[in-house]
Amino acid sequence: MLDANISDIALERDKTVKKMPAAVVERPNLPIEMRDALKKHILRERQRKKEEADANEADKQRRRAEKTCLDIYDKWK
CA–CA gap between residue 17 and residue 73 (Å, rounded): 72
CA–CA gap between residue 59 and residue 52 (Å, rounded): 10
pTM (2 d.p.): 0.51
pLDDT, tens digit, 9 for 90 and up, residues 2-41? 555 666 666 666 666 666 777 777 878 889 999 999 999 9
pLDDT, tens digit, 9 for 90 and up, residues 33-64? 999 999 999 999 999 999 999 999 999 999 99
